[in-house]
Chain A
Amino acid sequence: MTWADLPALYPMLIPAATAVLLLLTLTVRRDARLAAGVAMAGFIAGLLALAASAAELSHPVTMLLTVDRFAVVFWGILLFAGLLVSVFAVGYFRTLREPREEFYLLWLLAVVGAMVMAASAHFAAFFLGLELLSVSLYVLIAYPRMQSRAVEAGVKYLILAGASSAFVLFGMALTYAATGTLTFAELFTHLTLFPGDVLLLGGVVMILVGVGFKLALVPFHFWTPDVYEGAPLPVTAAVATVSKGAAFALLTRLLLGVIQAQPGHSTLAVIFTLLALASMIVGNLLALAQGNLKRLLAYSSIANMGYALTAFIAGGDAARVAIPYFFAGYIVAVLAAFGVMTQLSTPEHELQEVEDYRGLAWRYPWSAALLTVALLSLAGIPLTAGFLGKFFVLTAGMAAGRWTLVVTLVLTSGLGLYYYLRVITALYQAPLEGEQPTPPPLHLPHRLSVLTGLALAVLAALLLLLGVYPSPVLHLLAWP
Chain B
Amino acid sequence: MILLALILIPLLGGLLAWWAERFGTRATRWVALVATVLQLGVAAGIWAVHPGGGQTWWLDYARPWIPQFGIGLHLALDGFSLLLVLLTGVIGVLSVAASWEGITVKVGFFHFNLLWTLAGITGIFLSFDLFLFYVCWEVMLVPLYFLIDVWGHEERHFAAKKFFIFTQTAGLFLLLGMLGLVLTVAARFHVLTFDYFTLMQHPLGLYPLARWLMLGFFLAFAVKLPAVPLHTWLPDAHTQAPVAGSVDLAGLVLKVGAYGLMRLTLPLFPEISRAFAPIALTLAVLGILYGAVLAFAQTDLKRLVAYTSISHMGFVLLGIFSFNTMAWLGVTIILLAHGLSTGALFIFVGILNDRVKTRDITRMGGLWARAPILGGLTLFFALAALGLPGLGTFVGELLVLQGTFLVQPLFAVLASLGFILSSIYALWMLQRVFFGPPAPHVEARDVKPHETAMLAAAIALTLWLGLYPQPMLDTARAGVAQMLSTPEGGTP
Which A positions have Cβ atoms within 8 angstroms of B?
A: 362, 376, 381-383, 387, 391, 394-395, 398-399, 406-407, 410-411, 413-414, 417-418, 421-422, 425, 428, 430, 432-433, 470-471, 474-475
Determine the chain B residues whose CB is within 8 A of the CB of A470 once the complex forms: 66
Determine the chain A residues whose CB is within 8 A of the CB of B138 once the complex forms: 381-383, 387
B438 at the interface (CB under 8 A from A): no
Determine the chain A residues whose CB is within 8 A of the CB of B180 once the complex forms: 398
User: Contact between A418 and B165 (Cβ–Cβ < 8 Å)?
Assistant: yes
Determine the chain A residues whose CB is within 8 A of the CB of B69 once the complex forms: 395, 474
The B140-196 residues at the A interface (CB cut-off 8 A) are 141-142, 145-146, 149-150, 157, 160-161, 164-165, 168-169, 172-173, 175-176, 179-180, 183
| Chain B CB within 10 Å, residue with most, of A381, A382, A421 | A382
B377 at the interface (CB under 8 A from A): no
User: Contact between B164 and A471 (Cβ–Cβ < 8 Å)?
Assistant: no
Q: A471-B66, A474-B68 are in contact. Are A414 and B142 (CB under 8 A)?
A: no
A329 to chain B, nearest CB (A): 14
Assembly CA distance A59 to B106 (angstroms)? 57
A431 to chain B, nearest CB (A): 9
Instruction: Knowing that A381-B168, A425-B157, A430-B106 touch, tell me 4 more A-B residue pairs with CB under 8 angstroms.
Output: A382-B138, A382-B139, A387-B138, A417-B165
Determine the chain B residues whose CB is within 8 A of the CB of A387 once the complex forms: 138
B69 to chain A, nearest CB (A): 8
Q: A382-B139, A383-B135, A414-B172 are in contact. Are A425 and B149 (CB under 8 A)?
A: yes
Determine the chain B residues whose CB is within 8 A of the CB of A433 once the complex forms: 105
Determine the chain B residues whose CB is within 8 A of the CB of A475 once the complex forms: 68
B interface, size bucket: 20 to 34
B67 at the interface (CB under 8 A from A): yes
User: Contact between B66 and A474 (Cβ–Cβ < 8 Å)?
Assistant: yes
The 6 closest A-B pairs by CB, nearest first: A414-B169, A382-B135, A382-B138, A410-B172, A474-B68, A398-B179
Chain A: CB-nearest residue to B173: A410
Q: A414-B172, A417-B165, A425-B160 are in contact. Are A399 and B183 (CB under 8 A)?
A: yes
A439 to chain B, nearest CB (A): 15
Chain B: CB-nearest residue to A397: B179
User: Contact between B105 and A430 (Cβ–Cβ < 8 Å)?
Assistant: yes
A and B contact pairs by CB, cutoff 8 A, 23 listed: A381-B138, A381-B142, A382-B138, A383-B138, A383-B139, A387-B138, A394-B175, A395-B183, A398-B179, A410-B169, A410-B176, A413-B169, A414-B168, A414-B169, A418-B161, A421-B145, A425-B149, A425-B161, A428-B150, A471-B65, A474-B66, A474-B68, A475-B68
Contact partner of B150 among A394, A395, A430, CB < 8 A? A430
Determine the chain A residues whose CB is within 8 A of the CB of B419 once the complex forms: none
User: Contact between A394 and B176 (Cβ–Cβ < 8 Å)?
Assistant: yes
A389 to chain B, nearest CB (A): 13
Assembly CA distance A435 to B408 (angstroms)? 53
Determine the chain B residues whose CB is within 8 A of the CB of A428 once the complex forms: 146, 149-150
Determine the chain A residues whose CB is within 8 A of the CB of B164 once the complex forms: 417, 421
| Chain A CB within 10 Å, residue with most, of B65, B134, B168 | B168
Chain B: CB-nearest residue to A411: B169
Chain A: CB-nearest residue to B154: A435
Assembly CA distance A417 to B183 (angstroms)? 27
B255 to chain A, nearest CB (A): 20
Chain A: CB-nearest residue to B136: A382
A73 to chain B, nearest CB (A): 16
Determine the chain A residues whose CB is within 8 A of the CB of B172 once the complex forms: 410, 413-414
A473 to chain B, nearest CB (A): 10
User: Contact between A395 and B146 (Cβ–Cβ < 8 Å)?
Assistant: no
| Chain B CB within 10 Å, residue with most, of A383, A418, A425 | A425
Chain A: CB-nearest residue to B166: A414
Assembly CA distance A414 to B233 (angstroms)? 15
Assembly CA distance A407 to B161 (angstroms)? 22
B282 to chain A, nearest CB (A): 26
Assembly CA distance A382 to B168 (angstroms)? 11
Determine the chain B residues whose CB is within 8 A of the CB of A421 once the complex forms: 145, 160-161, 164-165
Assembly CA distance A398 to B65 (angstroms)? 22
Determine the chain A residues whose CB is within 8 A of the CB of B68 once the complex forms: 471, 474-475
A82 to chain B, nearest CB (A): 29
Assembly CA distance A433 to B176 (angstroms)? 44
Assembly CA distance A406 to B146 (angstroms)? 29
A315 to chain B, nearest CB (A): 15
Determine the chain A residues whose CB is within 8 A of the CB of B150 once the complex forms: 428, 430
User: Contact between A376 and B176 (Cβ–Cβ < 8 Å)?
Assistant: no
Assembly CA distance A321 to B145 (angstroms)? 32
Chain B: CB-nearest residue to A376: B142
Chain A: CB-nearest residue to B67: A471
Assembly CA distance A418 to B176 (angstroms)? 20
Chain B: CB-nearest residue to A428: B150
Chain A: CB-nearest residue to B161: A421
Assembly CA distance A200 to B475 (angstroms)? 70
A298 to chain B, nearest CB (A): 22
Assembly CA distance A407 to B169 (angstroms)? 11
A409 to chain B, nearest CB (A): 9
Determine the chain A residues whose CB is within 8 A of the CB of B146 once the complex forms: 428
User: Contact between A395 and B179 (Cβ–Cβ < 8 Å)?
Assistant: yes
Determine the chain B residues whose CB is within 8 A of the CB of A471 once the complex forms: 65-68
Chain A: CB-nearest residue to B184: A398
Determine the chain B residues whose CB is within 8 A of the CB of A418 once the complex forms: 161, 165
A476 to chain B, nearest CB (A): 11
User: Contact between A432 and B105 (Cβ–Cβ < 8 Å)?
Assistant: yes
Assembly CA distance A102 to B119 (angstroms)? 51
User: Contact between A391 and B106 (Cβ–Cβ < 8 Å)?
Assistant: no
Assembly CA distance A371 to B295 (angstroms)? 40
Determine the chain A residues whose CB is within 8 A of the CB of B134 once the complex forms: 382
Determine the chain B residues whose CB is within 8 A of the CB of A383 once the complex forms: 135, 138-139
User: Contact between A414 and B105 (Cβ–Cβ < 8 Å)?
Assistant: no
Assembly CA distance A381 to B175 (angstroms)? 12
Determine the chain A residues whose CB is within 8 A of the CB of B135 once the complex forms: 382-383
B128 to chain A, nearest CB (A): 17
User: Contact between A407 and B66 (Cβ–Cβ < 8 Å)?
Assistant: no
Chain A: CB-nearest residue to B175: A394
Determine the chain B residues whose CB is within 8 A of the CB of A474 once the complex forms: 66, 68-69
B163 to chain A, nearest CB (A): 10
The B84-119 residues at the A interface (CB cut-off 8 A) are 105-106
Assembly CA distance A391 to B135 (angstroms)? 11
Determine the chain A residues whose CB is within 8 A of the CB of B175 once the complex forms: 391, 394, 410
Contact partner of A407 among B106, B168, B176, B183, CB < 8 A? B176
Chain A: CB-nearest residue to B172: A410
Assembly CA distance A474 to B70 (angstroms)? 13
